[in-house]
Amino acid sequence: MDAAVSRAGAGREARALLLLVPAGLLGVALAWALTGQGSATAEAAVRMLADCLGATVLGLAALPRLHERLNPPWRPLAALAGIWCLTEAAVLVFDAAEVVGVPVQRLSAQQFGSFLTEISGGQIGIAVLLGTAVIAGYAALAFRRPDSASTDLVLVFAAVALALRPITGHMSQQPFGSVLAAVHALAAAAWFGLLVALALVVRARGEWAAVLPRYSTVALPLAGAVGITGLINGLVRVDGLTPLVSTGYGRILLAKAVVLLGLLALGWWWRRTWVRRAADHRMTADASLRRAVLEVVVMAFVFGLAATLAVTA
């Protein structure tokens, strides 16, 4: 009976991960309020969903590298990768409409085709679509033959798909800008995606005791990389301190920095409380899951801010 109750509680907490969507949309809404650029809100919302899905796919694929006890959940991985592919297709449509200079609903098939074949952004989008489609297809096949499947292919394609747009964005025009953008995107995806993956997969108290300390060790340098690269990228983009408060982009950047500082403080507190208690088997699986859900919901809010930054750059 106790085990059944525990599984039911874990199921409720896992469903709470759906809060990631409204949390990310709330981040987009705050960014819209800080800039007033309503036309970019829908594109930013779709970009946020794509980024969160891509990070989750990356995290699920990286689980065996975090701990040998964790096996990749191929069925949800395939489903999430398929949805990621669809959202990337939507992002591509928004990108095409922006380049052509028309609303999305007025974008013609000819204009979209020209964007895909003649503009570098369209070609990059095609590469991202192909990468996500390969992941979805491979994960679907791996579900039927898990013993012979490896997550290495998924990790490579997910990392490339997540990094392609950042490394070819505005930072690519700066010295080492593409490297900084890639590190920022991949570190943020791994930090967020691994914790979402743990919340989706880990259920027993003993599993949390084994894997949470390892995640905590990995999360610290990932968070540091996100903070440092984000600071450098942001200061280069706004070109000074005054634009941080005088421009919409700068205000979003400040909001993102404040929430990131809050996440770093929360992570420090978790290491002193949650991680230690979980490692000593002094915390239930449901309690660990609630903390993981809380943290990834806050991260999703930051992803909403970041997605708006990406479309307003």
For the cut 70, the answer to whether the pLDDT of residue 10 exceeds it is no
> For a pLDDT cut of 70, what percent of the chain falls above it?
91
Residue keyed to tokens 């990286």: 62
pLDDT in tens, 213-246: 999 999 999 999 999 998 888 777 777 777 788 7
Residues 6+ apart with CB under 8 A from 169: 181, 310, 313
Residue keyed to tokens 């709470």: 16
Spatial distance between the Cα atoms of 133 and 121, rounded to a whole number of angstroms: 18
Phi, psi (rounded to 5 degrees) for 258: -65, -45
Domain contains 187 = yes
For the cut 90, the answer to whether the pLDDT of residue 111 exceeds it is yes
Spatial distance between the Cα atoms of 179 and 185, rounded to a whole number of angstroms: 10
Confidence of residue 9 (pLDDT cuts 50, 70, 90): very low
Domain contains 169 = yes
Mean residue pLDDT across the chain: 88
Confidence of residue 16 (pLDDT cuts 50, 70, 90): confident
- How is residue 197 written in tokens? 């993956």
Number of CB atoms found within 10 A of residue 106's CB? 10
DSSP-derived 3-state class of residue 108 = coil
Domain contains 1 = no
For the cut 50, the answer to whether the pLDDT of residue 122 exceeds it is yes
Domain contains 2 = no
State the DSSP code for 102.
Answer: S
pLDDT in tens, 161-198: 999 988 876 665 666 678 888 999 999 999 999 999 99
Q: The domain containing residue 16 runs over which residues?
A: 9-312
Q: Which of 13-17, 107-111, 180-184 has the lowest mean pLDDT?
A: 13-17
What is the predicted pLDDT for the residue at 13? 55
Spatial distance between the Cα atoms of 249 and 257, rounded to a whole number of angstroms: 12
Domain contains 4 = no
Domain contains 133 = yes
What is the predicted pLDDT for the residue at 266? 92
Which residue spans within the chain are E strands per DSSP? none
Pick left, alpha or beta for residue 223 (phi over 0 → left; psi -120 to 50 → alpha; otherwise beta). alpha
Based on C-alpha coordinates, what's the Rg of the chain?
Answer: 20
pLDDT in tens, 277-291: 999 999 999 999 999
Count up the domains in the chain and report the number: 1
What is the predicted pLDDT for the residue at 8? 45
Residues 6+ apart with CB under 8 A from 56: 80, 192, 193, 196, 197, 200
Domain contains 268 = yes
Spatial distance between the Cα atoms of 265 and 67, rounded to a whole number of angstroms: 25
Spatial distance between the Cα atoms of 57 and 286, rounded to a whole number of angstroms: 23
Most confident of 8-22, 25-39, 163-177: 25-39
For the cut 60, the answer to whether the pLDDT of residue 43 exceeds it is yes
CATH classification of the domain holding 142 = 1.20.1630
Residue keyed to tokens 């709330």: 26
